[in-house]
Structure 1
């Protein structure tokens, strides 16, 4: 069983649904405790997923983020097997996200081979939405 974590200092509490997507499982851990705009959650989730599967080793988020948004990114990064760190002080505080070395991130990726019929069924379901 997964127990919720306390929000980071200055962070919000209680709130909306957690993001979902490839990666599954423990991803919701603590994310629902942080209240930020759904648009920000979606944008951060997409950015981290692209980063996770891309060639970059490090990614930087701007100093314009609030402490609550940074807390969300820290928790989401951790749940995706990434390492995050805030740097700087006050209005100049920003966040970097790095990939863990080799074998640790390799375990986070999984492939799934589907038959032709299964691919067709998935496509038709997706097109309905």
Structure 2
């Protein structure tokens, strides 16, 4: 769809830029703002809507990358789950896949 392509292109340009935040114009409708939120999430960025009515707009932020790798972090924890917990989690992930 044309809206998704247009917003995706704008987000790609923003991601390639040195800017940390991009604020879309307030003329986006509810559907277009929802597309911005969805595509931003898929691209690894965060988004937030501000304002009310015809002044409502959405801003997208790049997620800052940690300077330390996982190996360098001292407080790495691991979790153990019971078999019942594993079944419940598997059922949850099947119905609500992470990242969607």
Q: Note whether the superposition's TM-score is higher than 0.5.
A: yes
- Which runs of 4 or more aligned residues in structure 1 lie more than 3 Å from their structure 2 counterparts after TM superposition? none
**Paired residue total:** 67
Residues of 1 paired with 2:40 and 2:30: CA distance?
A: 15
1:91 corresponds to 2:40:
no
Q: Note the aligned Cα RMSD (angstroms).
A: 1.4
Q: Unaligned regions of 5+ residues in structure 1, if any? A: 1-37, 105-129
Is structure 2 residue 27 aligned with structure 1 residue 64?
Answer: yes
TM-score (norm 1): 0.49
Query: Residue 63 of structure 2 aligns with which residue?
Result: 100
Q: Deviations over 1:67-109 (max 9, x none)?
A: 11101110100010001000001110000000011239xxxxx
Structure 2 gap segments, 5+ residues each? 68-100
1:82 corresponds to 2:64: no
1:40 Cα offset (Å): 1.7
Distance 1:98 1:51 in 2: 9
- For 1:61 and 1:40, the matched residues in 2 are separated by 14
SS at structure 1 position matched to 2:19: coil
Under a length normalisation based on structure 2, what TM-score does the superposition of the two structures give? 0.63
Q: CA deviation at 1:62?
A: 1.0
What aligned pairs does 1:1-129 form with structure 2 within 5 A after superposition?
Answer: 38-103=1-66
The residue number in structure 1 matching 2:83 is none
